[in-house]
């Protein structure tokens, strides 16, 4: 991907009917509810969700499930998005792992063992839907007891994540080395690692409404549009057609470039005030 950084195209920003946009993952209620309240009071949309085309009419949310859910819950008929097709080569699909902290490991395992249809084995199974590394050094593989369809598999994953999402502190990480995790997160008791998804998995989850848990799929967008601050009143106005809204958006973008208000950063960054 490094060779593309200097030639990343201008972000493709569009306003779409919100009913034509579909999530592939559950929203995180802990994040979505505060975001909804924030958007009720906000005058601008800061960072648009990222979507990829499913077909000529429908799109899947790659990143921004909580923003999508908040806007839909607030009654927005249209949504401002950045379109980033998988085949563009500027989209990378990776995975987040979950660090579980501030919970007793035995209680955590009791909750996991209580999930119906889940098979737990000791050791590392490369075909498992999730793998647990405990701070004690024990490694467990989680999988369905029998072969299941996509919807059942993803529902099982959701049950696994829900067990600790409501009882423990959950941090997402790209780290996979346990020694590094234990050092950075002293109160961690377990690291859950998930297998990598393929774009087809994401598309099918959206098409079948077989949503995966929040915070597992990780889409890296080269050329992501941030700090947009697009006026929400222009997005919500129900007296303006979709075509007129999109023309207004394109005029707004041209004006931003004319004012030299758009800057591209090619380097990877760490943000310390997220």
Q: Which of the four pLDDT bands, split at 50, 70 and 90, describes residue 2?
A: very low
Judge whether 209 lies within some domain: no
pLDDT 10s digits, 213-259: 999 999 999 999 999 999 999 999 999 999 999 999 999 999 999 99
Q: 273 pLDDT band (50/70/90 cuts)?
A: low
In DSSP notation, 120-176 reads: EEES--TT-SEEEEETTS-EEEEEESS---HHHHHHHHHHHHHHHHTTSEEEEES--
Enumerate the H helices of the chain as residue ranges: 29-41, 65-73, 105-113, 150-165, 178-184, 199-207, 232-236, 242-258
Q: How confident is the model at residue 3 (pLDDT cuts 50, 70, 90)?
A: very low
Instruction: Tell whether 119 is covered by a domain.
Output: yes
Residue 199 maps to a domain:
no
Is residue 122 domain-shared with residue 37, that is, in the same domain?
no
Query: How many domains does the chain divide into?
Result: 2
| pTM, rounded to two decimals | 0.90
Tell me what pLDDT residue 5 has: 46
| pLDDT tens column, 94-109 | 999 999 999 999 999 9
Does 52 lie in the same domain as 37?
A: yes
- Is the pLDDT confidence value at 158 over 80? yes
Question: Quick one: pLDDT at residue 28?
Answer: 84
CATH code (residue 77): 3.90.1530.10
The pLDDT of residue 272 is 77
Do 162 and 117 share a structural domain?
A: yes
* CA 123/CA 94 separation, integer angstroms: 23
What are the phi and psi torsion angles at 53 (to 5°)?
-65, 135
Q: Is there a single domain that holds both residue 185 and residue 143?
A: yes
In this predicted model, what pLDDT tens digit does every residue of 179-200 receive, in sequence order?
999 999 999 999 999 989 999 9
In a domain, 205, yes or no: no
pLDDT tens for each residue of 49-88: 999 999 999 999 999 999 999 999 999 999 999 999 999 8
Q: Do the bridges between strand 139-144 and strand 118-122 make them parallel or antiparallel, or are there none, so unpaired?
A: antiparallel
Give the list of residues 6+ apart from residue 129 with CB closer than 8 angstroms, or none: 142, 143, 144, 153, 156, 157, 160, 194, 195
* pLDDT value of position 274: 61
pLDDT at residue 4, rounded to an integer: 47
- Position 43 in a domain: yes
Note the pLDDT of residue 191.
Answer: 98
Torsion angle defined by CA atoms of residues 173, 174, 178 and 182, in that order, rounded to the nearest 10 degrees = -30
Is 201 contained in some domain?
Answer: no
- Region 31-49: mean pLDDT is 91
**Has residue 202 been placed in a domain?**
no
Range of the domain at 137: 97-193
pLDDT at 162 over 50: yes
How much is the pLDDT for 34? 87
Q: How confident is the model at residue 264 (pLDDT cuts 50, 70, 90)?
A: confident
Rg (C-alpha) for the chain, rounded Å, is: 20
Residue 134 resides in a domain: yes
pLDDT tens readout for residues 119-156: 999 999 988 999 999 999 999 999 999 888 999 999 99
Same domain, 85 and 111: no
């Amino acid at each position: 991907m490094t060779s593309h950084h200097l030639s990343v195209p201008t972000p493709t920003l569009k306003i779409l009917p919100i009913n034509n946009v579909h999530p592939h993952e559950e929203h995180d209620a802990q994040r979505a509810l505060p975001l909804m309240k924030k958007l009720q009071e906000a005058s601008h949309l800061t960072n648009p969700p990222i979507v990829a085309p499913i077909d000529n009419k429908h799109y899947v949310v790659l990143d921004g499930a909580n923003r999508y859910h908040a806007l839909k819950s607030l009654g927005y008929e249209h949504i401002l998005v950045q379109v980033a097709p998988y085949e563009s080569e500027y989209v990378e699909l990776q995975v987040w792992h979950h660090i579980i902290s501030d919970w007793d490991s035995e209680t955590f395992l009791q909750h996991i063992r209580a999930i119906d249809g889940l098979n737990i084995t000791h050791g590392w199974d490369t075909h498992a839907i999730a793998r647990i590394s405990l701070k004690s050094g024990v490694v467990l593989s989680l999988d369905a007891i029998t072969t299941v369809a996509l919807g059942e598999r993803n529902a099982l994953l959701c049950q696994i994540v829900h067990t600790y999402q409501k009882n423990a502190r959950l941090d997402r990480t790209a780290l996979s080395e346990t020694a590094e995790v234990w050092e950075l997160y002293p109160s961690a008791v377990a690291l859950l690692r998930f297998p990598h998804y393929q774009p087809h998995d994401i598309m099918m989850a959206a098409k079948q409404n077989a949503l995966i848990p929040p915070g597992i799929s990780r889409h890296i967008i080269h050329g992501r549009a941030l700090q947009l601050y697009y006026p929400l009143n222009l997005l919500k106005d129900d007296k303006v057609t979709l075509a007129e809204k999109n023309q207004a958006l394109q005029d707004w973008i041209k004006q931003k470039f004319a004012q030299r208000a758009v800057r591209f950063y090619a380097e990877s960054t760490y943000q310390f005030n997220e």
